[in-house]
Amino acid sequence: MNKSFLFAGLALCLMSSCCQEFDVDNLAESQVNSRTLSCLDMLEFETRSDFDHAVLNVEYYVDSIKKNFRFISLYDEYERAWDLSDKYYESEEKYQEFKKMFPGLYFPEYKDDYSFFLPVRNEAVAKLLNNKGYVKIGNKVVDITDIKTPEDLLELRLLAPDDAITYSVDHNTEFENNIPEQADGDRKFWLNTYAGNFVRMEANFRKKSVFGRWRNYKSKTTLVGSLYYASGVVHFPITSSQDKKGPHVYEAFPGGVGAYYPCHGTFTIDYQGLGKFKFKVNKQKPD
C-alpha cells in the first residue's frame, strides 16, 4: 500500500470515543479486508500540498478511505440534509431543529431565502472535511471553508441579486446572457451564463416553504439551443435535461473553435416550476 499516494499523509487522529486507532503502514491487507470498519473523525495531511493532491484525486482517495474506515464528510452531511429537508421545512420550529442537526452547513438566511449550502466553493474539498468542516494539516486543525457570508453566495450567483425580479408574464421576453430572478406564486428562477473558452449555464430555482420562506429543492430543467463562434463552429448540446437538486449546471468545453469571441446563440430553458424562458447569448469579450 503506497501511503504517500493513497492516503496523502493521512493519520488516524482526533478520534471520538468509539474509534479505535490503527497503524496503517503495518496493517496487513487481510486485516483491512476482514475487520469491522472503525470510525475516523478527521483526516490529517502532512502538508497543504498533500491535501491539494487529494482534492484533485478525491473520488479515488475517498473510496479508498471508506473501504477501510467509517468517515462522515461534510459532503455526506450535505447529501443527508437534502434527503431530510422536505419534512423539516414544514414549520419555523422544524427548520430551527434542522439547522441544529447540521452545524457544518451554511444557513445564510438572506432576506427571505432560507436555503442551505455547503460552506465551500469546491465540492471535492467538502468530501475531505469532517462533518463540522475541519481537516488537520501539519498537526493543526484547519478551517478551509470559504463561504461565510451572503455576499460570498451573491458573488457566486447562488443567491438572487437584490431587486432582480422582472417576471416575464407572457414568457416572450428574450433576455440577454443572464435571466434575472423570475418569481410567480411559490416558485422562482434565475439563470447565469458564462461563455467563450468554456460554456457554463447555471439554472437556479427556489420554492416557498409552508412557513413562507424560500428554499432550494429538486426540480427539472431542459435547455435547448446552440452556441456559434466567429469561426463558424457550432457548440453546445441541442437538448439537455436535468432532474435533481439545484443549481443545474450545463457545461461544455469547446475545442478547435479558433477565436472564442465573439460568440452568440439563442436558447430556451424550460423550468418545471414556471415554464419556458428565452434568452440569447451575446459575448463579445470575457466577463
Domain ranges of the chain: 3-70, 74-125+145-155, 174-283
CA 53 to chain centre: 20
* 174-283: CATH topology: Immunoglobulin-like (2.60.40)
> Residues in the chain with pLDDT < 50?
1-35
Q: Are 206 and 187 in contact (CB under 8 A)?
A: yes
All cell numbers assigned to 91: 414549520
* Tens digits of residue pLDDT in 171-184: 678 899 999 888 88
- Reported in sequence order, the residue ranges of 165-274 that DSSP labels E, i.e. its strands, are 174-176, 179-184, 187-194, 199-208, 214-215, 218-229, 234-235, 239-245, 248-252, 263-271
What does the pLDDT read at residue 140? 95
What per-residue confidence (pLDDT) applies to 3?
45
Lookup: cell for 281: 447569448
Cell of 193: 451564463
Specify the pLDDT at position 167: 64
Per-residue confidence (pLDDT) for residue 39, from 0 to 100: 83
DSSP helix/strand/coil, 37: coil
255 contact partners, CB below 8 Å, separation of at least 6? none
Q: What is the pLDDT of residue 31?
A: 41
- Do residues 260 and 244 touch, judged by C-beta distance below 8 A? no
